[in-house]
Amino acid sequence: MMDRLWEIFERQCVEHMHTMGFAAQADWPEFGLRMRSEFRRLAELLWDLYHGRPDFATQVALIIEDAFKAYTRRTPTLRERDRLYPPESGWFAAQDQVGAVAYVDRYAGTFKNLESRIPSLRELGVTYLHLMPFFLSPAQENDGGYAVSSYRDTNTVYGSMDDLERLAATLASEGIALVADFVFNHTSDEHEWALKAKSGDPDYREFYWTFADRAETVVYQEHLRDIFPEVRTGSFTWCEEMGRWVWTTFHPYQWDLDYSNPAVFRAMAGEMLGLANRGVSILRLDAVAFIWKRAGTSCENLSEAHTIIQAFQSIARLVCPSLLFLSEAIVHPDDIARYIDRRECQLSYNPLLMAELWEASATKDVSLLAFSLRKRHRLPAGCAWVNYVRCHDDIGWTFADEDAAAIGIKGGDHRAFLNDFYLGTFPGSFSRGVSFQYNPKTGDRRICGTAASLAGIERAVAEGLGQDLDTAIRRVLLLYGVAFAVGGIPLLYLGDELGMTNDYSYLDDPALARDSRWVHRHRWNDALYSNRLDEATVAGRVYAGIRRLSAARKAEPAFGTQAISVPESGHRSVLAFHKQAEGRLVTILGNFADEPATIHADAGSALLAGRSGLDVLTGRLVLPGEPVTLEPCELLWLRSEVE
């Protein structure tokens, strides 16, 4: 019965397109083919969200109309990309993919200037460039660009949207995919929709979660957590112009959109397609966990959030099927995994790997890291992790307490230790990190700092500790070496390749001083860049190491596979894992200790399956039957030929 009803509904929608004159256009045949394969899935997803509305059929028809109009504006070059590189092509999982992320202004100043940085990116082997939010946003408080005032306009300091489109085309011609943020949980309170809501427009007031009485918010607030407790408590902000309380999960100037209103879904689908038509290849879906609200819940990771993303993905399949989604979910590992699917988010950040790389560096014990790699690294076919060591945000200790308990670690106590260690207050710490968003009620805290400062380079340089500096440089390369090898796209936070340390000048800027994340949001440094090829300098040593990782990764087919095996290394400080493809086995060994670690002969022979291994990073040969000694924080990628 339902099959028949969906067939009738599909026919009605196609007839509507004929009536509107769309199906008579030259663009219709390809779009019509996609409609036949995608319509039912899209309609069913929208039904799950909006079936209670009497105008459901009209809403679906309008969404499809918008999709077709966006398709007609897609350039021939982008249409060819759609045909060659749909998600099923798996291009993003190949070993030649290397990602990078930067702020436009801090890395290059403008979109046009960024074109001059392309040779620098190619030198590092970059094929994926994420530009942090470049949209129009409030001049002062804007959460680093995540308070969007217009999705169709850029921050004028960077240039215009046309400049961005030209940059996207230039990057594509150089083999670099452009990645942009899709900030779809909230807008700035200066967005046109918010301004219309403030002016009394009832239609736009319904774009946001608002409440006339504070008591109405209580049924939600009692189950919500404070995201930025140093800024404020509670998730609701009084708006004087409307005389109503507005839901503001993050900051008071970021208004949460109400996706129970299909007009919001339709409007944001339009913004998504607008970005795709500017040449964006991948959308980083910001704050995916928060986009649906329900009283009596934490309003995080609700099933409707997945439905919304899947519906956006279905629309992309109609208009721009090469567009990929990258999930940004900094939540429990079980919840992260639920966003990863070929028909939802093909890519996902791997915050667990980031956190546990730093955890292993502090403890000199790889037990938790190895446990999680065995348990949680697997992904559905056609999906990949984006593996990072540092990013624009803080480090939250996102390991699962049940995983920690399984190996005898108390999660809460361990997080407290890690915070002390990376703040540099724990005896023997090499780190110079900065606290972010301490919550005195819960004791929760996160950590900020550049990779170099957290790994010990800043401290060693300041205190003139040459041996510690050598170890700290190797530590940075060890962490990145695991990220480059483990499976997925490695993501380089630009500035890390030059060993940039913390920049405390943010404290002198009143607009930035309250947000310690600015300590690690690097500005381009000509002096460091000029030293990049001089291995007598810190910048040169780190840069050379990153380039070796990038080149070696591209040469090894095994790094284009997601599969991983994680044997016991025989040493508490040494992480071991295998990657295999095309008759080659690559055994990765990394010593997370500050002193040498030796794997005895029998264990080393077992790890290499009785074969010799050639380190593709240094040319070192490891023979079967001999012990393997790794220097402090040394990394080996041992290649063996297999039958």
- Residue 404: both structure tokens together: 């920690």
Q: What's the pLDDT band for 640 if we cut at 50, 70, 90?
A: very high
- Residue 36: both structure tokens together: 């036949």
Q: Out of 105, 328, 359, 515, pick the active-site residue.
A: 328
Q: What does pLDDT average to over the chain?
A: 95
pLDDT of residue 389: 98
Share of the chain above pLDDT 90, in %: 90
Q: Average pLDDT, stretch 612-628? A: 93
Handedness of CA 537, 542, 543, 548 (dihedral sign): positive
Contact 140, 557 (CB under 8 A): no
**Among 312, 372, 310, residue whose Cα is nearest residue 342:** 310
End-to-end CA distance of the chain: 55
Question: Among 19-28, 81-90, 594-603, which range has the highest average pLDDT?
Answer: 81-90
Q: Examine the pLDDT at 554 and tell me if it is beyond 90.
A: yes
Q: Examine the pLDDT at 19 and tell me if it is beyond 90.
A: no
Q: Examine the pLDDT at 264 and tell me if it is beyond 90.
A: yes
Q: What's the pLDDT band for 3 if we cut at 50, 70, 90?
A: confident
- Residue 575: CB partners within 8 Å, gap ≥ 6? 360, 366, 369, 370, 482, 569, 588, 589, 590, 592
CA distance 13 to 83: 25
- Respond yes or no: is residue 328 known to be catalytic: yes
Provide, for the chain, the percentages of residues in helix, strand and coil under a 3-state DSSP scheme, each rounded to the nearest 5. Answer: 45, 15, 40
CA distance 84 to 415: 46
Contact 502, 451 (CB under 8 A): no
Q: Which of 278-292, 361-375, 489-503, 592-606 has the lowest mean pLDDT?
A: 592-606
pLDDT of residue 5: 63
**Among 436, 447, 442, 444, residue whose Cα is nearest residue 361:** 447
Q: Average pLDDT, stretch 375-390? A: 97
pLDDT of residue 396: 95
Q: Examine the pLDDT at 605 and tell me if it is beyond 90.
A: no
- Residue 418: CB partners within 8 Å, gap ≥ 6? 358, 359, 362, 397, 447
pLDDT of residue 603: 85
pLDDT of residue 398: 93
Q: Out of 256, 286, 300, 496, pick the active-site residue.
A: 286
Element (H, E) at 256: strand 254-256
Element (H, E) at 273: helix 262-277
pLDDT of residue 20: 81
Q: Examine the pLDDT at 102 and tell me if it is beyond 60.
A: yes
Q: What's the pLDDT band for 280 if we cut at 50, 70, 90?
A: very high
- Respond yes or no: is residue 165 known to be catalytic: no
Q: What is the pLDDT of residues 561-575, one digit of tens each?
A: 999 999 999 999 999
Q: Examine the pLDDT at 1 and tell me if it is beyond 70.
A: no
Q: Average pLDDT, stretch 312-329? A: 98
Q: What is the pLDDT of residues 163-174, one digit of tens each?
A: 999 999 999 999
What are the angstrom distances between the C-alpha of 605 and each of 33, 216, 600, 613? 56, 66, 9, 10
Residue matched to tokens 């967005």: 191
How many C-beta atoms surround the C-beta of residue 163 within 10 A?
17
**Among 355, 403, 347, residue whose Cα is nearest residue 379:** 347
pLDDT of residue 2: 57
Q: Average pLDDT, stretch 514-520? A: 96
Q: What is the pLDDT of residues 486-496, one digit of tens each?
A: 999 999 999 99
Q: What's the pLDDT band for 319 if we cut at 50, 70, 90?
A: very high
Helices 303-319 and 28-50: crossing angle in degrees, nearest 10, is 170
Share of the chain above pLDDT 70, in %: 99
Residue matched to tokens 């380039």: 547
